[in-house]
Structure formats: structure tokens, C-alpha cells
Structure 1
Amino acid sequence: METIKHYNLNPSIGGSFSFAWRKMFEKAFLPLLLAVIIVGLLNGPAGATWKADGHFGWQFLMFFPVILFGMAYAFLFLPVIKYGENFLFLKAMRDEEASLITIFDGFKNQYLNIILANLIVTALVIIGFVMLIIPGIIIACRLAFVSFLVMDKNMEPMRAVEKSWQMTRGHGWTIFFMAIISFFLIIAGIIVFIFGVLISIMWIHSAFASLYQAVLNEEDDDNPIPILGVNEVR
């Protein structure tokens, strides 16, 4: 009979990225890859519609329905898919069943919470960037776990915002430098064309999901969540 081992994941840049790299190539690789492709394709319409926002006069009137659709799509549909994608990566990092259908889970029971949470986070980050950019960066880093908390813990929007702020205390620089590294990973992925970008995005999502799990483990040291492959507790 195989012995069940329990591991604690270290909430660090190296720990998150190294653990993510190993886990994403295991049994959930195909669902994660397909999720990145699907979300990337679904991201397209939202980006395309915003390009019409600079037109005025009759051109604006002509593009107004497109702009309206783009806003509805960007705020009422896309966030649900992205929250589901984050949850899928979290389940993969936990070695739980990671089904592609998970990216649509938010439509079933968390739709309103996701929409409101996304609006709150977006508004707070925009306000922060208006205040000389740096506050916006700080807010974005401190609210990095909101999507995980809404999907994983079924939290209401404001509670998720408060909890993310609490959980990221002391980890803000880690999140910030992980974001910087993520930028260069995307650049490196572009250099090796489309597949490289997909792998980079998968790695980034996996790393942030791993960091979230690591911080959860920190909060519950007396009852660590089993994660295979990192820092065995003997």
C-alpha cells in the first residue's frame, strides 16, 4: 500500500515557479494547454472591440453597438472564464481532477460574485494607477488572490478582496517580481513562436496558483494541505 505523504509549498518565487514547472507537465497538461488556447481565443473579441473606442461622430455611432457589445463581453462574460481558468490551474497544482469544463464553472454558481469581484478589483486598480501609478501596482499585487478565493472558497466579492489583502501581506514583493518575471517569460515565449507563448502562459498561471496554495499552507501550518513534490514533512 502506497504511503500518503504531505508536503508544504514554500511561498517564494523560486519555489512557486519550480513547483509549477513540474506539475504542469503531469497528467493535467492537456486540459491546461487547451484552457490557455480557449481563453486566448475568447480574449480576442474584447481586445478588438476596444480599438473602435477612439472614433467620433458618425463613425462612433456606427461602432457604438460594437463598443457596447465589447463592454458587455469584457465585464459580463470574459471574467467568468478567466476566474474558471485560474481555478483549473489551482486544481492541477493540487493534483486534483482538472477537467477543462472547470473554466465554465463560474456560470453555474459564482457568476454574480465573479462579476462584482472583477469590477471592484478593476476599479481599485484604476484608482490606484490614477494616484501616480505606484499605488495601482501595490493594489494589483495585493489583490492577486481574489479570483482564487472567489472560486476556491466561495467568498463574496468584498470578503475576497479583504482576504486577499490579508493573505498577501508580506508577499507583495514576491508577487511583484513574479509579475516582472512573467513579462520576460512571455517575451521568451514569443521568440520561440506560438507554442512557446502557450507554455509561458501555462507556467505563469501555474506559478501564481502555486503561490496562492503556498500562502494557504502558511495560514494552516497545523493541518497542511497535501501537495506532492515539494518540501516533504517527515
Structure 2
Amino acid sequence: MTTKKFSKGEAIRFGWNTMKSNLVFFIGLFIVFGLLYIVPSIIADMALEANIFLVVFHIADFVLTIIISIGLLKIALKFSDNEKGRFSDLFSQYRLFFNYLFALILYCLIIFGGMLLLIVPGIIWGIKFWFFGYFVVDKGLGPIEALKKSSAITKGHKWNLFVFFLMLGSI
């Protein structure tokens, strides 16, 4: 695999320009995304008395959150390929649910293990495997393959990615 140069500034410019040129879409996406998270929490607050309903509701909310996360990755990938995202993309990749879920569980276990080893390994491994979701969604890879691909593409770029994530967090 050839090593490509990673430009933090170029990545931020691309994201900013993409957002500006698709502002109406992103505002609508933000509203839909917000409603999909606000409405369930309101229902959960109202359902505190009905324990079984609350359990079922939290499971459904978790499933919906995973499906929307997959959809957001699909939208991000479309924009990175200079295609337009659509609201229907939020739910179009539901068939990847289990691959994404298992990869996410493995990712979380890896991070947890790293955090037990005095935090720094957890941060390094978090960056190393951060892109697993993109490989599940874009390439249809299984959990292990997606984590391996993420590891491969971040090799030699972890410090730049760490700084990039800090930059994004400050915006």
C-alpha cells in the first residue's frame, strides 16, 4: 500500500466547502438527526413507569442510532466522492447493521483494553482503528477486515490524525 500525504488543512477546507455548498441539506439533516434523538429521549422520560416498555424502547433507540450512524457514514462517503447525499441515505445501509455492530464492539473492546494500559495506548488504538466504519459501509467488509484496513491506512499518520482530531474538536 502506498503512503499518501495527509493534509489537515485540505481536509478541513474540503469539509467546510462541502458544507457551505450543501447548506440546506445539512440544516435539514441536522434537524432530522436532532428530532431522531430528542423525540426518543422525551418518550423515555415519559415512560419511566413502564419498565418493560423502557427496555424495549432503549433497544430500539440503540438499533436506530447504529443505523443512522451507518447512514451518516454513507452520506460522508458520497460527499467525498463529489456526489450529493440524500436523506434516504440515513436508512439505506441498514443491511450492514450486524457487520458494523460487531466491528463497533471490537473497536470499543480494543479502546477499553488500551485505556486499561494507562490511556495512551487507548488513544493510539482509537486513532488506528477509527476508520473501521468507512470500510464496513464503503467496501462492505466484515468487522475484522475493516479494522485491519483502518490499521493499514493510519500507519505513519497517527500523530497527524491526532492533531487533526484536536483541530476538529476546537471548531
Give the secondary structure class of the aligned counterpart of 2:156: coil
Q: Which runs of 5+ in 2 are unaligned?
A: none
TM-score, structure 1 normalization: 0.60
Q: Which residue does 1:228 correspond to in 2? A: none
Q: Which amino acid aligns with 1:176?
A: F
In structure 2, C-alpha distance between the alignment counterparts of 1:46 and 1:165, rounded to whole Å: 35
Q: Which runs of 5+ in 1 are unaligned?
A: 1-8, 50-60, 186-234
Q: Which residue does 2:10 correspond to in 1? A: 15
TM-score, structure 2 normalization: 0.80
Greater share of residues in helix: 2
In structure 2, C-alpha distance between the alignment counterparts of 1:47 and 1:125, rounded to whole Å: 27
Larger radius of gyration: 1
In structure 2, C-alpha distance between the alignment counterparts of 1:90 and 1:141, rounded to whole Å: 19
Q: Which residue does 2:121 correspond to in 1? A: 135
**Residues 108-187 of structure 1: matches in 2 within 5 Å?**
109-185=95-171
Q: CA RMSD in A?
A: 2.9
Task: Work out whether 1:105 is the aligned partner of 2:92.
Answer: yes
Q: Which residue does 1:212 correspond to in 2? A: none
Q: Which residue does 1:84 correspond to in 2? A: 71
Q: Which residue does 1:210 correspond to in 2? A: none
Report if the CA contact (8 A) 1:114-1:147 is conserved: yes
Q: Assess, with a 3 A threshold, how the Cα gap between structure 1 residues 143 and 46 changes in structure 2: closer, same or farther.
A: farther
Q: Which has the higher contact order (CA 8 A, sep 6+)?
A: 1
The number of aligned residues is 166
In structure 2, C-alpha distance between the alignment counterparts of 1:128 and 1:67, rounded to whole Å: 33
In structure 1, C-alpha distance between the alignment counterparts of 2:151 and 2:61, rounded to whole Å: 25
Q: Which digits, 9 at most, give the CA deviation of each residue in 1:139-193, with x for residues without a partner?
A: 11111211111111111111101100111111111221122122221xxxxxxxx
Q: Which residue does 1:37 correspond to in 2? A: 31
The list of structure 1 runs, each at least 4 consecutive aligned residues, that deviate by more than 6 angstroms after superposition, is: 45-49
